[in-house]
Structure 1
Amino acid sequence: MEKTQDITIRTEIRPGDLGYVMYRHGKIYGEEYNYGVNFESYVGAGLHEFYKNHDPELDRAWICEQGHKIVGFMLLMHRENGTAQLRYFYFEPECRGLGLGNTLMQLFMDFAKERKYKHAYLWTTDHLPAAHHLYKKFGFRLTEEKPSNDFGKPLVEQRYDLAF
């Protein structure tokens, strides 16, 4: 466990964590960006895939808690050929701007390097400039863009890649 201010970061997945992360993604992205229910369903399917294929040697979740409340989350999911995928990175609005994004990104980078991943990638949308800035700060580069209606509204999905 690590601490940032009064926020603890744990890596053990407990009952209720994945469902709560799915719920918060649906609520936050619905309220802030007008994403539809299909986005929440997409997150749920991905979290199910993560848990179903979870290998503690290759995969990791970082769960930020303030007291007993989850206030942030990110995971690294193993893919083929030494590739890691960064997924489901979010913070509660009141916990943004505290440096937690940098902390989780550094934990992601350290774990990926320790596990000898050769490549990492993530998918995001064009609505998140603060996240794009953070990804670029850690060496990710925009490599692909595609129009999408998969989240209940027209937007542009973006892929960022990093070679270690």
Structure 2
Amino acid sequence: MPQGDNAVIRPFRDDDRDWLVERHGTLYARDEGFDESFAPLVARILDEFVAGHDPQRERGWIVESDGRRLGSIFCVALDETTAKLRLFLLEPDARGKGLGARLLMTCMGFARSAGYTSMVLWTHESHRAACKLYRAHGWRLTDSKPVHSFGVDLIEQSWSIRL
């Protein structure tokens, strides 16, 4: 069982890509019923990040404990003043230990220091713990609508925050 106090947040490396694709695909299929179209989307997002991100304005992080990867978060440019939070994931046994808050604060702190004045994210209503975390850190729900994505019916949400 990973402990939150000995976990470290480090920069994303290219060799994290396959792990992130697999964990997103596995966890979302198991927990949300997502079909096989989800993992390729994660792979495309990561491939685009690896191939062309601006390291001054876009970064990814991995949280790990004793060499075991436990989660991720990414900050990418939406436009000149707005950052987009992406690929926020925590392994189920790493949840409830403060690691999600640490990742979120790392991402938001970077966005501020990179000169963004706001951030946005897209998620699903079923991610209740993540939504609670966003709200606790000042994010506002800006849109909510039913969609059919990845083979399931979902309530898609958009959130934003002024930095």
SS of match in other structure, 2:143: strand
Note the C-alpha offset of 1:4.
4.5
Alpha-carbon shift at residue 36 of structure 1 (Å): 1.1
Q: Note if contact 1:141-1:161 (Cα within 8 Å) is conserved in structure 2.
A: yes
Matched, 1:47 2:41: no
5+ long unaligned stretches in structure 2: none
Residue 109 of structure 2 aligns with which residue?
110
Distance of 1:49 and 1:22 partners within structure 2: 13
Tell me the TM-score normalized by structure 1. Answer: 0.91
Uncovered stretches (5+) of structure 1, i.e. residues with no partner: none
Could you tell me how far apart the structure 2 residues matched to 1:146 and 1:43 are?
Answer: 22
Deviations 1:32-61 (A, max 9, x none): 111111121221222222222211100111
TM-score, with structure 2 as normaliser? 0.92
Which residue matches 1:75? 74
Contact 2:63–2:103 (Cα < 8 Å) also in 1:
no
Q: Measured at CA, do residues 43 and 14 of structure 1 come closer, stay the same or move farther in structure 2, by a change above 3 Å?
A: closer
Root mean square deviation of aligned Cα: 1.5
Give me the identity figure in percent.
34
1:84-123 mapped onto 2 (5 Å cutoff): 84-123=83-122
Partner secondary structure for residue 55 of structure 1: coil
Tell me if structure 1 keeps the 8 A contact 2:14–2:50: no
Corresponding residue pairs, total: 161
Question: Which residue identity is paired with 1:30?
Answer: A
Distance in 2 (alpha carbons) for counterparts of 1:41 and 1:157: 19
1:117-142 alpha-carbon deviations (Å, 9 max, x no partner): 01100000111111101111111111
SS at match of 1:144: strand
Cα distance in 2 for residues equivalent to 1:118 and 1:57: 15
User: What is the rounded CA distance, in whole Å, between the counterparts of 1:72 and 1:95 in structure 2?
Assistant: 8
Change (3 A) 1:44 1:146: farther
Quote the offset at 1:12 in angstroms.
4.2
Indicate the SS of the match to 2:134.
Answer: helix
Per the TM alignment, residue 67 of structure 1 is displaced from its structure 2 partner at its CA by 2.3
Q: Deviation digits for residues 86-111 of structure 1, max 9, x if unmatched?
A: 01111111111110111111111211
